[in-house]
Structure 1
């Protein structure tokens, strides 16, 4: 996701939430393609080799290969390669790694987060003994509450073609991981921060997966990703991920619509990005939301993203408290920190081109070493 949300994006999100599902009568007549059947059978080799009941203390480190290529090092200069980095993360208490994947990022001027890059990182994470979450954005670039851009190659697709593309892309990426020796993917996230759906094609209401325009399509695309993921890794858990974990209205509304339109998924994913002034109330509201969702929809929850300003005096308390509360909440599988390894004002090329500030909610200090806040993961 683009972590540096502008006021315009926030306004768009608010409008989308209030509108979500208001246009049910506009759904396409050809949306009967939902298939909730779980294809494939599980063989012993496909069983996860790690203990999936262990509380998740994870990190999304999708930027790491780009940082290494830019000459960044970690652990005060001691770590200079990918395998070393994954081992360092493991030593910090991380037991799970989350990796985003874009459809064809070359259309946006980069090769990072394509299938080859994701495979390299996934292999290194499994070599270090960590579990994996693969985060499908279904876009050539960032997908988040204000941006769910259709991949360039899919821009003229019909509903049926779009649903097939979701299936094919999901299966292709996961098959590449499996062929590279990745024996298990514990979670597959179908869409990133899909607070108002995904694959927005507002020019064609029969195709768009925008929830406020066509919730039936959104449910169909989720199910297409679900079925494809299960064909490759039958034991994987499929996650539907929204922003604003403290916002119970958003979650109840959207997951109510997914239930109405028979979407198939296993787990609810959340993001949580507080500031110094509100982190305590955010945690309180987030935990209450998790309990409510578990009761209402019967689904477990995983906090797919958290972040706090790296040098905040409140960061230690925030991370300690969110980990403690999540671990003792029935139905919460764990927590992932988003890009903790970012430090020293580093930013990728597209950040520079767009004039955004560098991402500041990592959890490493200016030497590329974990701050005391992130070291809470090792307790």
Structure 2
């Protein structure tokens, strides 16, 4: 998330048992997870998580509530303490021990990448398109293989993060002053997918931030598919305060399902449980007017829980059973860990734990049952 400018044959067997089973009307969304990439930083400053008064690691609380996936980001050379391959491997071990699958999200950037910025890692700067594609392919293969080597093979790889306008700027930027550059962008996207496949990844996601924008989503995926990109899952960010009412999400998912016949995952979403602020940095969401369905889902603990119940309902109604699931974005990102060193947390009212680490009612959305 972070809004922001205003993831070889010898390994294939290790992955084969990790593909999520088909959906069942009695089990709810078959993918139910959260991005917990800030966890080690939270623990390093002494934060703990509780559910019903019992203290446990966040991944244990999530799986105890029915979650079956974690999403883990990897930056290439972030500031000290932030999401590296090493930290993602640590969290991957913990997630697997808790009984969860892994969605791996390499950003192909040293730090935050999102629709407004997709900076090429400093170590890769100056490479031409062909060389950069080889770098991306090898890097992706090596990162995915690292999880398999430690006995925690990933179940899905998300190649890039919110790549609506491209990746690895400037070479992979789609929209430039001289027109649209889909061929260059998809050369890099295909390279990441090839690297993930070579390392045995069983499922590939391509992710944009168009959860409430059907026209924008169609424009992107039509062009990507026209360039011959082969992938398995459409991933969408959906934050109602940026992407519109739940009716827009519903219409978009239904159309994309019928149009592309691919599984759909709301791979980033969140909702406020309060309009108060937990630290000195202003939050993204501060007023009821920012919530398009605020009358139904106010910024309260009960309103947040109701919002996630409606997300489940929207997914259940997607044609063909292709509403595969959802990920909450950083349910445990509590005040004290900044979006960058020395900064605060603009999302601290969007968590699924209060500021003392106590579970909120919205965690019920992770249940397996209907």
Task: Say whether 1:245 aligns with 2:218.
Answer: no
C-alpha distance in 1 between matches for 2:362 and 2:143: 34
> Who is 2:363 aligned against?
374
**1:324-352 CA distance string (max 9 Å, x none):** 22133231110000001123x33326163
Which residue does the alignment assign to 1:191? 160
Supply the distance in 1 between the matched residues of 2:81 and 2:356 (Cα, whole angstroms): 27
Instruction: Calculate the TM-score normalised by the size of structure 1.
Output: 0.81
Query: Is 1:225 the counterpart of 2:216 in the alignment?
Result: no
1:264 aligns with one of 210, 214, 230: 230
| Aligned CA distance change for structure 1 residues 356 and 89 (closer, same or farther; 3 Å) | closer
Partner Cα separation in structure 1 for residue 15 and residue 210 of structure 2 = 34
Give 2:59's match in structure 1, choosing from 80, 86, 89: 86
Tell me how far apart the structure 2 counterparts of residues 366 and 116 of structure 1 sit (CA, whole Å).
Answer: 27
Q: How many equivalent pairs are there?
A: 328
3-state SS of paired residue (2:340): helix
Contact 2:353-2:359 at 8 Å conserved across structures? yes
Distance between the aligned counterparts of 1:42 and 1:72, measured in 2? 37
Aligned residue for 2:206, secondary structure, equals strand
Cα deviation, residue 47, structure 1: 0.9
What CA RMSD, in Å, does the superposition of the two structures yield over aligned residues? 2.2
Equivalent position SS for 1:249: helix
* Deviation digits for residues 270-328 of structure 1 (CA, Å, limit 9, x no counterpart): 011114xx99x622211221221222223221110111113323312211100122133
| Larger displacement relative to structure 2 (190-199 or 52-61) | 52-61
Structure 1 residues 216 and 359: alpha-carbon distance in aligned structure 2, compared to 1, 3 A threshold: farther
Matched with 2:260 is 297
Q: How far 1:41 sits from its partner (Å)?
A: 7.7
For 2:102, the equivalent position in structure 1 comes to 132
Larger displacement relative to structure 2 (48-57 or 320-329): 48-57
> Separation in 2 of the partners of 1:376 and 1:46?
27
Conserved 8 A contact 1:222-1:265: no
Kept in 1: contact 2:113–2:119 (CA 8 A): yes
TM-score with structure 2 setting the length: 0.82
Please tell me whether residue 332 in structure 1 is matched to residue 307 in structure 2. Answer: no
- Compute the displacement of 1:157 (Å): 0.7
Residue 46 of structure 1 and its aligned partner are, at CA, apart by 3.0
| Contact kept in structure 2, 1:245 and 1:270, CA below 8 Å | yes
Unaligned runs of at least 5 residues, structure 1: 10-38, 202-207
Does 2:53 correspond to 1:75? Answer: no
- Unaligned runs of 5+ residues in structure 2 are 24-29, 275-298
